[in-house]
Amino acid sequence: MKGRLPWIAPAMVLLLALSIFPLIYSLKLGLKPAHFERMFHDRLFHIALWQTLLFTALALIAEFVLGLSLALLIDGLGRAARLFRAGLLMPMLLPPVVAAVAWRLIFNPQFGVLNGTLKGFGLDTSHLTWTNGEGAALLCVVLVDIWEWTPFLFLLLSAGLQSLPQEPLEAARVDGASWWQTTRDITLPLLKPVVLLALLLRSMDLMRIFDQIFILTQGGPGFATETVSLYIYRTAFRFGNFGYAAAMSFVMLAITTVMARSLMRVMKTK
Amino acid sequence: MIHSQNVTIRRLTALLLAALLAGCGKSSNPTPSLTIAVNAGVEGTALKTAAQEWGRQNATRIEVVELPYNNLFEKLLMDLTSRTGSYDVVMMDDPWFPKLVEGGNLTPLPEDPAGDFIRSCLDVCRHPYQAGKYYALPYVGNSQLFFYRKDLFDKYHLAPPDTWDQVLTAAKTIQAKEKMYGYVARAAPGNAVVTDFMPILWAFGGNILNADGDPAVNTVNGVAALRLMIELGKYSPPGYAGFNADEVSAHLLQATAPMSINWPAWIAAMDDPARSKVVGKIDFAQVPSAMKKGQAELGTWLLGVPSGSRNADRAFQFITWATAPEQMKTAALRGNPPTRRSVFESADLKQKFRAFPAQLASLETARPRPRTPLWNEIENAFGIYLSKANAGSMTPQEAMKRAQDEIEAILRRSQ
């Protein structure tokens, strides 16, 4: 231990300065009963929380189903798989901010590419307002997230598939099992640890969604796409109320932790 | 061997720490310097250029920190409240001023500003508003104008847009006869919708806070004003409840809408053939009236010196120089509307900028947003319900009621 201390000292100093101290400071700021009382009555916080959970659930399910299907499909392609894999990763390689700006232009109801193309097919687009309409805005934001982050789940699951042992699959095939039977009874159960990891990583990321929404809609129209992280950002940096923002962050941390734990429990018992 | 390795590592670590500590300390620098925080945009660019010039004349090293609008406020709030002294001169949008001046975070001016500054621009530099000491100098004189297609108004013999009723009539006529929308409003939550709504609210005799500083949006006048905005929305492009300034101006530039409330920063674009299909066709009028005479919202950029600055004297010299008539004229040529009457009225500038008379008239009667440090929070809450009403998911009465409740809660919490 004594010999190692000089090696780890700089890292410890950095950790103390950049993580531990701010954490203690934010606990001191945030853990006041008044903040939690306000949160309990804060209608805007409740709506933002509900929308964050809805957004997370919709995006996670869609991205997982799509990512898994793509991974399974491409797994059987042999050499051509490489090309598809590279192509599918493109959206994920764009910085989220750039992607969001592009989508903002695409969704513009009068000058955007999307309505322009639909109009080209002879559709009446005058009332298709996408992110500018209260009803569809959240779904549009989910759509952009699916577009951008399905490749991430695809990549993880695809790598998981490649690392599976081949023997059980071959044995099943020899025994005359169909593709569907081997996938359901052998591939997916073997893939479970990777699935768990993928869902954990993605759901934690989704819960703190910020950049895409900030650029696409700023939480609007009205309050239709406001999420907790946007609300925390505004409270801290626009209104200067760091205490309440810290309290909300701790609540989000608690929710995310509970979510992750239950996800792990469900996956283990299954 | 192991021993000597450990010694080397210890020495290296010590060296590293020493270097880190040295970096934290202040190095003595022979040439004086000024650090200036500016808005990344046309307003900031002009100040940046001016600062470099002043630095050369006064043997001062100038460092400019350029930040996007939202970011600038956040950085200023943190720097000013923690008195880090990272900046010697700061550029502020006037609605930020009541929050930033709080707690003595800005240094009062050594002497009151002299000359022909426009009253509305000076008033917002004082704390308390209109009456207190001066803590800033007005640098860019911004207030809203009503942009409208003069050619179409002439074509259909429409009365000029002096009142909101005339605007509605014109919107109806133009939408029926031309292939375009009749009006373009913007109602994205936050700054966008509140800025578009304020002149209507004032014209209808409404207010956000009454004379005692209590919330007063839920009144007959407030509801009537919101109803008018929604009526205008019927002639606006669908989806305007998500529009910001750029969408509004895009519709004007593309000739897909004939009028809107807008900021002077967009005037140059309207007459730029590379961007505009309406060169020379747009006229710039005062914000329309209703029960009361129309008043534009003020959006003046101010220059101040944080209390944490270690170069306050030099900083004041610079901002006095930058807002003197001669420099302000140069800044006007670089695209910044002035805050002095003489600059607005100088013959050569008037010839170059055809909207100057309208801009001056607007500034002289313009009204600032409520002078409260809670403005950002109030604007956010108010904006959400205005945006919802414009999107059609809340009636005007309900929106004003909710906004009133929310603003009351904000004020209550701050006590």
The tens-digit pLDDT sequence of chain B (415 residues) is 445 555 555 555 555 555 554 444 444 556 899 999 999 988 899 999 999 999 999 999 999 999 998 899 999 999 999 899 999 999 999 999 999 999 899 999 999 998 899 999 999 999 999 999 999 999 999 999 999 999 999 999 999 999 999 999 999 999 999 999 999 999 999 999 999 999 999 999 999 999 899 999 999 999 999 999 999 999 999 999 999 999 999 999 999 999 999 999 999 999 999 999 999 999 999 999 999 999 999 999 999 999 999 999 999 999 999 999 999 999 999 989 999 999 999 999 999 999 999 999 999 999 999 999 999 999 999 999 999 999 999 999 999 999 999 999 999 998 8
Whether chain A has a CB inside 8 Å of the CB on B395: the answer is: no
pLDDT of A74-125, one tens digit each? 887 777 788 888 888 889 889 989 999 999 999 999 999 999 999 999 999 8
Give yes or no for a contact between B101 and B127, defined as CB atoms under 8 angstroms apart: yes
CA dihedral for A41, A47, A52, A53, sign (positive or negative): positive
Whether chain A has a CB inside 8 Å of the CB on B98: the answer is: no
Q: Nearest-CA distance from A253 to chain B in Å?
A: 24
Whether chain B has a CB inside 8 Å of the CB on A76: the answer is: no
User: Buried b / exposed e across A228-246, counting CB within 10 Å, b at 16+?
Assistant: bbbbbbbbbbbbbbbbbbb
Q: Measured between beta carbons, which residues in chain A are less than 8 angstroms from residue B411? A: none
Tokens standing for residue A47: 């709506």
Domain with residue A154: its CATH number is 1.10.3720.10
pLDDT of B27: 47
Q: Measured between beta carbons, which residues in chain A are less than 8 angstroms from residue B237? A: 109-110
Kindly identify which residue of chain B lies nearest to residue A235, measuring between CA atoms.
Answer: B377
Query: Does A240 fall in a domain?
Result: no
Query: Does A268 fall in a domain?
Result: no
Query: Does A102 fall in a domain?
Result: yes
Give yes or no for a contact between B223 and B199, defined as CB atoms under 8 angstroms apart: no
Interface of A with B in 158-197 (CB under 8 A): none
Give yes or no for a contact between A30 and A246, defined as CB atoms under 8 angstroms apart: yes
Contact B393 A129 (CB under 8 A): no
Contact A7 B9 (CB under 8 A): yes
Question: Residue B36 and residue B91: Cα distance in Å, rounded?
Answer: 8
pLDDT of B358: 97
- Residue B128, preceding peptide bond in cis (omega within 30° of 0): yes
Kindly identify which residue of chain B lies nearest to residue A134, measuring between CA atoms.
Answer: B391
Q: Measured between beta carbons, which residues in chain B are less than 8 angstroms from residue A127? A: 238
Query: Does A269 fall in a domain?
Result: no
How many structural domains comprise chain A? 1
Query: Does A139 fall in a domain?
Result: yes
Question: Residue A134 and residue A114: Cα distance in Å, rounded?
Answer: 18
Q: Which helix (H) or strand (E) holds B38?
A: strand B33-39
Kindly identify which residue of chain B lies nearest to residue A127, measuring between CA atoms.
Answer: B238
Interface of B with A in 158-187 (CB under 8 A): 187
Contact A223 B187 (CB under 8 A): no
| B260: β partners | B147
Question: Residue A165 and residue A173: Cα distance in Å, rounded?
Answer: 14
| Backbone φ and ψ of A226, nearest 5° | -70, 135
Closest CB to A217: pick one of B2, B242, B394.
B242
Query: Does A144 fall in a domain?
Result: yes
Secondary structure of residue B209 in the 3-state scheme: strand
Closest CB to A3: pick one of B6, B242, B376.
B6
- Does pTM top 0.95 for this prediction? no
Instruction: Output Rg (C-alpha) for chain B, integer angstroms.
Output: 24
Secondary structure of residue B316 in the 3-state scheme: helix
pLDDT by residue for chain A (270 residues), tens only, comes to: 567 888 889 999 998 889 889 889 989 989 999 999 999 999 999 999 999 999 999 999 999 999 999 999 888 777 778 888 888 888 988 998 999 999 999 999 999 999 999 999 999 988 899 999 999 999 999 999 999 999 999 999 999 998 999 888 889 888 988 888 888 889 999 999 999 999 999 999 999 999 999 999 999 899 999 999 999 999 999 998 999 999 999 999 999 999 999 988 887 765
Return the DSSP state at B306.
Answer: B
Greatest C-alpha distance within chain B: 97
- Residue A221, preceding peptide bond in cis (omega within 30° of 0): yes
Query: Does A20 fall in a domain?
Result: no
Domain housing A184: 57-225
Tokens standing for residue B372: 């409260």
Domains of chain B with CATH codes: 33-140+301-365 (3.40.190.10), 145-297+372-414 (3.40.190.10)
Query: Does A201 fall in a domain?
Result: yes
Instruction: For residue B132, give the amino acid letter.
Output: G
pLDDT of B2: 46
